[in-house]
A and B are shown apart, each in its own frame.
Chain A
């Protein structure tokens, strides 16, 4: 299961829109903690989770922290594998150009295959 040095493949599956619930923010905090332990981390964005990566979030009017800029800082923590479900974007009128970070776009089938390869999958 684990590779040399105890490094495991972690995938965080994000399926929630960013502000209606606290799931998205909590997931991001756990991602940053995991990165501190030098694990092989992937983030997957499915369903309403793709909204977390939408450009142009302006949260002043709802008096909530805008955590979307944190996604741009993830490469500084060696988290560079962000996967987005193509069909989820299409059903929401989004394209890669609408997202605030570079991502790898996968079909549902490819996403499922990638999940199979993980040691640990955490879902939010």
Chain B
């Protein structure tokens, strides 16, 4: 399953809920969700732990908009809008953790 998270980790518990419940698949961080995948964020450990179970991606344009393009956690894949579509198409289903 593709899990889409669009809220910052310190603003909502979307990431925590996803990591608590979801078992496997891909996590795509978009909009304010991208902050979770930046070095030095309090959520860095959660993302690194999640990478042992999930493929973790961020939407590149959202990361760049926020000036965080230079501090993506190593191993997290940055994708464009086309990559977003590919992820949706490649997984059997998806869930937005709004």
Contacts and interface: CB of A to CB of B under 8 A. Distances in A.
Interface of A: 16-21, 47-48, 51, 54-59, 61-62, 64, 66, 68, 91-94
Contacts, number: 71
Contact of A59 (B38, B65, B71): B65
A62 B41 CA distance: 23
B41 A58 contact: no
Interface of B: 6-8, 10-11, 31-32, 35, 38-42, 44, 60-62, 64-71
Nearest to B80: A61
A25 to B, nearest CB: 13
B10 A92 contact: yes
Dominant secondary structure of chain A at its interface with chain B: loop
A46 to B, nearest CB: 11
Contacts of B38: 92-93
A92 B38 CA distance: 8
Given A17-B35, A92-B41, A62 B10 contact: no
B11 A17 contact: yes
Given A48-B10, A59-B65, A20 B41 contact: no
B41 A91 contact: yes
Nearest to B81: A61
Given A92-B35, A93-B39, A93-B71, A61 B10 contact: no
A43 B8 CA distance: 22
Contact of A55 (B11, B60, B67): B67
Given A20-B6, A20-B7, A62-B62, A56 B67 contact: yes
Contact of B42 (A57, A68, A91): A91
Given A51-B66, A54-B66, A93-B44, 19 more contacts: A17-B11, A17-B66, A18-B66, A20-B6, A20-B8, A21-B32, A47-B10, A48-B8, A48-B11, A54-B68, A57-B65, A57-B67, A62-B61, A62-B65, A91-B10, A92-B38, A92-B41, A93-B40, A94-B40
